[in-house]
Amino acid sequence: SKQKPDPPKGCVFVVIKSECDVNISKMCPFKINNSIKQHLKESVTDVKRLNNGCLLVKCIDDKQGHELCKISKIGDVKVTASPHTSLNFTKGVITSYDLKYAEENTILEELKEQNVTEVRRIFTRRDGQKVPSLSLILTFNSASLPSSVKCAYLNLPVRQYIPNPLRCFRCQKFGHSSQNCKNENAIC
């Protein structure tokens, strides 16, 4: 059997899905809980049923998350577990005039040991032109946002990144995209 790659460093949220056609989210909660407890030798923080038939498990810490990724069965059902693709990452914003001329790749290389996996500069528009701002969006390989990052001799506070709200261009409401819109008629 092929070996699974190690999960990322920050692995608090784990998705468990069935390898066959069995919907594990419809299994008995006691059976699910007992299987997870038996594998980990302790309880997890939270288990949620997802609409796609998978389970979302919140672990106590990274160590427990890594261990849960090795689970192969819940009851009699073969399962695969993997870190959640977005919940194990957080995004924050730093602002510094000193980093105005620093390249994104350079900043990423310098901040990798602080769990930074991606750096993206925020651009603003002035007179129809895209102009780089002093702010950078940092993606952290962790479920919690650090209060600050150390950039060379600078200690910069990290604010939570709040993206623009998701908007539907069919019904003009917020919270969903036009692909998931239940309105049949477009509102202009």
Q: Dump pLDDT digits (tens) for 45-101.
A: 889 998 888 999 999 888 898 899 999 999 889 999 999 988 889 999 999 999 999
Going from the N-terminus, what domains does the chain have, and what CATH number goes with each? 13-83 (3.30.70.330), 90-160 (3.30.70)
pTM of the complete model = 0.73
> Which amino acid, 183?
N
**Separation between Cα atoms, residue 172 and residue 157, nearest integer Å:** 36
Task: Give the tens place of pLDDT for each residue, 109-149.
Answer: 999 999 999 999 999 999 999 999 999 999 998 888 999 99
What's the pLDDT score for residue 10? 66
